[in-house]
Amino acid sequence: MSLTNTQPGDVRPDEVAAPVPAVLGVHGITKRYAPGSKPVLEDLTFEVQAGEIVCIVGPSGIGKTTLLKSIAGLHPVTSGRIEIDGVPISGPPRQMALVFQDYSRSLMPWLTVPKNVEMPLRRLKLGKKETVERRRAALEAVNLADADKKYPWQLSGGMQQRVAIARALAYQPEVLIMDEPFASVDAQTRFDLEDLTLSIRDNYNMTIVVVTHDIDEAVYLADRVIVLGGSPARVQTTIEVDLPSPRTQVTTRADQRFTSLRTEVLEVISRARPGTDLPG
Ligand SMILES: Nc1ncnc2c1ncn2[C@@H]1O[C@H](COP(=O)(O)OP(=O)(O)OP(=O)(O)O)[C@@H](O)[C@H]1O
């Protein structure tokens, strides 16, 4: 005999689906570089859902790179935890790939473009056929299918950064982390690479976290902009970017809402310098 008075169609408690964890969860992290020193980050919390692009902005020196390095497992946090798919990380997570600003230092000059793209695949111990296929598809995705005999130093800066992006793509990460990825290229190339980033998210449903100093870039790329502020740094504000998709450099940047969002982000950043915690 049932003790509960359930009706047909009722959902029993044991049938309620468990909530799906965020792809990336940053839970109350604090980071000190030396024991007893003032923390750079304190009690910092946010989540990123599958297929989201989140841009992280904040005043210079606030701790953006420190946060990305923590997420990438490149250094341990002092307290709190970082999770991928609900599982705490304890080093560089397998599901993650990184793209840094300085492509000239991240690409190996003595390796051809295809060999550079293949490099991180060694960690996955794939067969030759899959390695070649992933490399081919990644180079095609960044429009460098015909660069297969070239070395990085024979390419322009924008092309080299596309090789770095192809290398990350070939790895097929769940989460792509980008630290000031387009800061060293000219304005037109920057626009092209921003559009490439949007197409990667759309085509691969990849979760992407970008640190940028460029407020317009943050608004153009992001579903959400997270503004860090204060000292130690915390999340000051999260701004939802409700611009329509697909976005294009001409129409999106001309949209009145784009202008208001960039003004909103700028205002928060100018109030978020170290030592100026915002109320609420
Ligand atoms: N390895 C380290 N050891 C000690 N302190 C560090 C280290 N790396 C960064 N810091 C300090 O942490 C603080 C935040 O630096 P971080 O590079 O994360 O800021 P940022 O927001 O990325 O800066 P920027 O916008 O100028 O690139 C700075 O005060 C910096 O001096």
How far does the centroid of ligand 1 lie from the alpha carbon of residue 180, in Å?
14
The verdict on the CB of residue 66 being under 6 Å from ligand 1 is: yes
State which of 41, 55, 64 you would mutate to test the pocket of ligand 1, scoring each by most atoms of that ligand within 8 A of its C-beta: 64
Domain boundary assignment for the chain? 21-95+207-280
The residue among 19, 127, 23 whose CA lies nearest residue 71 is: 23
**Could you count the other beta carbons within 10 Å of the beta carbon of residue 189?**
17
Q: What is the pLDDT of residues 135-147, one digit of tens each?
A: 999 999 999 999 9
Distances (CA, A) of 161 to 102, 104, 117, 185, 189: 8, 8, 12, 9, 10
Q: ipTM of this model?
A: 0.98
The residue among 215, 219, 221 whose CA lies nearest residue 269 is: 215
Angle between helices 128-141 and 157-170 (to 10 degrees): 140
Residue closest by Cα to atom 1 of ligand 1:
33
**Sign for the pseudo-dihedral over CA of 138, 142, 148, 154:** negative
Residues in the chain: 280
* Spatial distance between the Cα atoms of 158 and 123, rounded to a whole number of angstroms: 27
How far does the centroid of ligand 1 lie from the alpha carbon of residue 60, in Å?
9
How far does the centroid of ligand 1 lie from the alpha carbon of residue 119, in Å?
29
Mean pLDDT estimate for the chain? 91
> Which ligand 1 atom is nearest residue 228's CA?
21
CATH of domain 21-95+207-280: 3.40.50.300
Two tokens, residue 183 = 């800061």
pLDDT grade for 280, boundaries at 50, 70 and 90: very low
